[in-house]
Structure 1
Amino acid sequence: MTTPDLRLVPKTPEQTAAWLPVAMAAYEDARRRAGDDADGAAAAARASQDQFFPDGRLIDGHFLFTVEADGEDAGWLWLGPVKDTSTWYVWDVAVHESFRGRGLGRATMALAEEFARSQGASTMQLNVFAYNEPAIGLYGSLGYAVTSMHMQKPL
């Protein structure tokens, strides 16, 4: 299997508008899988959209890309600063199911880190839900370390 030509292509406003409901639904689903009830998951998705996409447009200083593999839409990447320009965050990253298992997640993260460094970042952070064991394995192999952990127990 050959390694695809992987590129980060900025999403247009129209592409962002089409992506936003898909991404927020995926985030809401991830929150439910992680233990939030339906109302809490929906509220978290609304809060994220309101904070980062007021009027449907991504806030200044953040970047949203289509991950292209050999010219095909293989996923997305959203990243931007957290508190200052030296600490950046991977707000969302996804590789479409049909492209998984080919190293594109690893390659996308390398491009994300390279881009963040080019913008002055010296630290990259991210969140991964505990049920997502493949992503946890990937991030660990890339040198990411656990910095906090939330736990819960249904009663």
Structure 2
Amino acid sequence: MPAVTVRTMTDAECEAWLDELAREYAEDQVLAGRWPAEGAIARAAEENAELLPDGPATDRMLVLRGVDEAGAPIGRAWVALDHPRGAPGVAFLYDIEVLPERRGEGLGRALLQAVEAETRREGADALELNVFGGNRTAIALYGSAGYDVVTQQMRKAL
């Protein structure tokens, strides 16, 4: 497996990532039928700004850049060290992604492991995440990495 480490994002990296993240998060929410398309990007940006008021310096948040052995960026991750619903000792992975141009190199699992190690170093006993049902690649990765389904939301179109 390729070697991947993580470091805190710079302010400039974080600013670019937050713009991209808002678009992606809004699209996921719209596709899942949870939000209307109109205003979705603004809503996503507002939610992210509330959670990360100080960007990468926000207390109890890890805003990470994954880098390869040469120090080149390969991806990103965002972890809340305090679970949004208060689960004790459980951190929450809001975002993890390998850069599109680096996909297919086996970096996803390595990035996930680096993020888990950093989260553990920060004192968390467990890491929880949400994955949309249509994201089969991510579901397979998390399952093979030892993640268990703890809650499941289902929907049927009528």
TM over 0.5: yes
Residue 113 of structure 1 corresponds to 116
CA–CA distance in structure 2, aligned partners of residues 85 and 114 of structure 1: 18
Specify every segment of 5 or more residues in structure 1 that has no aligned partner in the other structure, as ranges: none
CA–CA distance in structure 2, aligned partners of residues 40 and 150 of structure 1: 24
CA–CA distance in structure 2, aligned partners of residues 134 and 34 of structure 1: 17
Matched length: 153
Secondary structure of 1:108's counterpart equals helix
Residue 52 of structure 1 corresponds to 51
TM-score by length of 1: 0.86
Give the C-alpha shift of residue 52 in structure 1.
Answer: 0.9
Closer, same or farther: CA 62–154 of 1 in aligned 2, 3 Å: same
TM-score by length of 2: 0.84
CA–CA distance in structure 1, aligned partners of residues 156 and 43 of structure 2: 20
The one of 9, 12, 15 aligned to 1:11: 9
Give the C-alpha shift of residue 41 in structure 1.
Answer: 4.1
Which 10-residue stretch deviates more, 88-97 or 52-61?
A: 52-61
Letter in 2 for 1:13: D
Q: Percent of pairs identical after alignment?
A: 33
Contact 1:77-1:90 at 8 Å conserved across structures: yes
Letter in 1 for 2:63: L
Letter in 1 for 2:122: Q
1:76-115 equivalence runs, <5 A: 76-81=76-81, 82=83, 83=86, 86-115=89-118
Specify every segment of 5 or more residues in structure 2 that has no aligned partner in the other structure, as ranges: none
Give the C-alpha shift of residue 102 in structure 1.
Answer: 2.0
Q: Detail structure 1 runs of 4+ shifted over 6 Å in the superposition.
A: none
CA RMSD of aligned residues (A): 2.2
Give the C-alpha shift of residue 43 in structure 1.
Answer: 6.3
Letter in 2 for 1:75: G
Letter in 2 for 1:108: L
Which 10-residue stretch deviates more, 103-112 or 77-86?
A: 77-86
Structure 1 residues 36-94: Cα deviation after superposition (integer angstroms, max 9, x where no partner): 33147446514422321236566311011111123222110111221367211111000
